[in-house]
Amino acid sequence: MKIEYYIVLSLALFCIGIAGVLTRRNAIIIFMCIELMLNAVNLLLVAFSKMHHVAEGAKNVAMAGIDGQLFVFFIMVVAAAEVSVGLAIIVMMYRNTHSVDVNFLNRLKH
């Protein structure tokens, strides 16, 4: 499979995530769109990792490209931590405003 296919697929997922962030006002949906964007990047990382494995493998580097997948692993780790904190913040917000509308957050300004 050529790499462009994966790149285009990832970009499409990523941009769908962005469009979601821009169009929705529900904080949880926005959060989910961010997860979607993260996954798009993960997919791309794995694809590149496999691509490099082929390219470098020809030069007898056995474990070439493995760091790409390890990065994906770490992104997942960070994402898990992020989700826990993020959801806690959303719950907190809901408790205070009885809403998850991000535009409510403009009162942070005052």
Partner 1 sequence: MKNILQLVWMVPVLPLIGFLINGLFRKQLSKPLVSLVGCLSVLSSFVISVLIFLDVKNGHTGVVNYFDFISVGKLHIPFAFQADQLSALWLLVVTGVGFLIHLYSTAYMKDEEPQHYARYFAYLNLFVFSMLLLILGANFVIMFIGWEGVGLCSYLLIGFWFKNNEYGNAAKKAFIMNRIGDLGFLLAIFWMVLKLGTVTYHTGDNTGVFDLVSKLSTFDITGITLLLFVGATGKSAQIPLYTWLPDAMAGPTPVSALIHAATMVTAGIYMIARSNILYTLAPVTQTVVAVIGLATALLAATIALKQNDIKKVLAYSTVSQLGYMFLGLGVGAYTGAVFHVMTHAFFKALLFLGAGSVIHAMHHEQDIRNMGGLKKKLPITHLTFLIGCIAIAGIPPFSGFFSKDEILAAAYANNPIYWYLGVAGALMTAFYMFRLYATTFLGQFRGTEEQKHHLHESPLSMTFPLIVLAILAALAGFVGVPEVLMPNSHALGEFLAPIFADSAKHAHAHHLDHSTEYVLMAVSVIGAAIAIIYAIFRFTRKPDLQEATGFGKVLADKWYVDEFYNGIIVRPLNWLGKFLNTYIEKGLIDWVVNGVGRSVNYLSRQVRLVQSGQVGSYVLLMVLSILVFFVIQFFLKK
Partner 2 sequence: MSATVFLFYFLSVLALGSAIMVVVSRNPVHSVLWLIATFFAISGHYILMNAQFIGIVNLIVYAGAIMVLFLFVIMLMNMNADSEPKKNKWLKLAGVVSGGCLLLVMVAALKSAEVKGQLVQMKDGDIGLIANLGKALFTDFVVPFEIASVLFLSAMVGTVVIGKKGD
Question: Which residues make up the interface to partner 1 (CB under 8 A)?
Answer: 18, 21-22, 25, 102-103, 105-109
The minimum distance between CB 38 and partner 2, in angstroms, equals: 9
Question: Can you give the length of the chain in residues?
Answer: 110
Cα angle value 18/45/41 (rounded, 5°) = 10
| Among residues 58, 59, 78, 106, the one that binds partner 2 under rule CB under 8 A | 78
The three-state secondary structure class of 60 is: coil
The closest of 34, 36, 49 to 9, measured between CA atoms, is: 36
Which x/- pattern, by CB under 8 A, does the window 3-42 give for partner 2? xxxxxxx-xxxxxxxxxxxxxxxx-xx-xxx-xx--x--x
| Among residues 34, 58, 69, 108, the one that binds partner 2 under rule CB under 8 A | 69
